[in-house]
Amino acid sequence: MPRDGGRLYGPDVIDDDGYFGENIAADYDDSAADMFRPGVVDPAVDLLADLAGDGPALELGIGTGRIALPLSGRGVPVHGIDLSRAMVERLRAKPGGEAIDVTIGDFATTRVAGEFSLAYLVFNTIANLTTQDAQVDCFRNAAAHLRPGGCFVVEVGVPDLRRLPPGQNAVPFHISDTRWAFDTYDVATQAMSSNYVTITDGRAEHWSIPFRYVWPAELDLMARLAGLRLRDRWEDWTREPFTSESGKHVSVWEKPADRPAD
Ligand SMILES: C[S@@+](CC[C@H](N)C(=O)[O-])C[C@H]1O[C@@H](n2cnc3c(N)ncnc32)[C@H](O)[C@@H]1O
């Protein structure tokens, strides 16, 4: 907790926008600038456009449109779901933002009209659902929006437990004169959090966001519960093979096509 004069952004100060309220939305694009580089965005959009084919796509956690806008620019109709009005306002303000319909709600349960050839959930956002039940619901919800033969794509890190020494529950990932950042892990529950302490003009600000880390094989079971089956798993958007050294994966589950009548 920050000492005197500090500010805390954490579970006790979230509002209807979840953890991506006005204070985060205002500089989301700048703080995630690395993820907006063409070298990161273009391969993701290439793969998603291939999978969407001639059908519409549904982005769960569309945010400020980092992926949705260029995908829409490629001619794929995109619909989004997001909890955060503040994030979606930023999407709306961008060129092309008016072409994208967004429904405000929880992507684990919110239904939108239509049938999609692709649903996708990128940038570790599945882990924003902090219970296994919610993650299972999310797979069911994605599957319910897919047409037969449609795909659900998830991009998420492989839990980095190899960095967690026995007896320790925190791993620092950034240390400088004015900023410290660390993850905490509870290996009994798969709860984790990312924490950022920033010093500005002698004042400390602490921002903490909870996650639930999830294993690839566990996601495959969630997919099976939702009637989907694993089609591909790669290390990244350029379809490099997924190996035991991969730090993240891009996984594609497919809704089986309707069987032809006998
Ligand atoms: C890390 S941002 C990713 C935004 C965008 N997909 C991107 O790649 O830049 C996560 C987004 O998911 C949204 N989000 C998190 N949990 C959600 C939930 N349960 N339901 C709907 N939106 C959620 C947040 O509001 C935020 O806009």
Measured between its terminal Cα atoms, the distance across the chain in Å is 65
Sign of CA dihedral 91, 97, 98, 102: negative
Closest Cα to atom 14, ligand 1: which residue? 61
CATH of 11-157+215-254, one of 3.40.50.1820, 3.20.20.210, 3.40.50.150, 3.90.1150.10: 3.40.50.150
Give the residue extent of every domain in the chain: 11-157+215-254, 165-210
Digit-coded pLDDT (tens) for 190-210: 999 999 999 999 999 999 999
To test the pocket of ligand 1, the residue of 17, 23, 83, 120 to mutate (highest count of ligand atoms within 8 Å of its CB) is 83
Ligand 1 neighbour 126 (Cβ under 6 A): no
Answer yes or no: is the C-beta of 52 below 6 A from any ligand 1 atom. no
Ligand 1 lined by 212 (C-beta under 6 Å): no
pLDDT at 261: 53
State CA 206 to chain mean position distance: 22
**Ligand 1 in reach of 141 Cβ (< 6 A):** no
Decide: 155 and 188 in contact? Cβ < 8 Å. no
What phi, psi does 247 have (nearest 5°)?
-85, -15
Over pLDDT 70: what percentage of the chain? 93
Per-residue pLDDT in tens (0 to 9) along the chain, 262 residues: 232 333 334 444 456 788 999 989 999 999 999 999 999 999 999 999 999 999 999 999 999 999 999 999 999 999 999 999 999 999 999 999 999 999 999 999 999 999 999 999 999 999 999 999 999 999 999 999 999 999 999 999 999 999 999 999 999 999 999 999 999 999 999 999 999 999 999 999 999 999 999 999 999 999 999 999 999 999 999 999 999 999 999 999 999 997 555 5
Answer whether 208 contacts ligand 1 (Cβ < 6 A).
Answer: no
- Residue partners of 83: CB distance under 8 A and separation at least 6: 16, 17, 18, 20, 104, 105, 106, 107
The pLDDT of residue 1: 28
Q: What is the Å distance from ligand 1's center to 165 Cα?
A: 30
**Ligand 1 atom closest to Cα of residue 32:** 9
- Looking at residue 110, its pLDDT comes to 98
| C-alpha distances in Å from residue 130, one per residue of 9, 53, 123, 125, 138 | 17, 32, 15, 10, 12
* Type of residue at 204: A
> What is the distance in A from the centroid of ligand 1 to the CA of 84?
8
Q: Residue 260's pLDDT is what?
A: 58
b vs e for 104-135, b when ≥16 Cβ sit within 10 Å of the residue's Cβ? eebbbeeebeeebbbbbbbbbbbbbbbeeebb
Strands (E), the chain: 7-9, 57-60, 78-82, 101-104, 116-121, 146-157, 170-175, 179-186, 191-200, 203-212, 229-234, 248-254
pTM, two decimals, is 0.93
- What angle is formed at CA 188 by the lines to CA 185 and CA 193, rounded to 5 degrees? 25
Interatomic CA distance for residues 232 and 239, integer angstroms: 9
Q: Determine the angle formed by the axes of helices 216-225 and 132-145, rounding to 10 degrees.
A: 50
Q: What is the mean pLDDT of the chain?
A: 93
**CA-nearest residue, atom 16 of ligand 1:** 128
CA of 53 to the centre of ligand 1 (A): 24
The phi and psi torsions of 92 (rounded to 5 degrees) equal -60, -35
* Per-residue pLDDT reduced to its tens digit, 25-71: 999 999 999 999 999 999 999 999 999 999 999 999 999 999 999 99
Q: Is the CB of 61 under 6 A from ligand 1?
A: yes
Q: Could you tell me the two tokens for 241? A: 């093979």
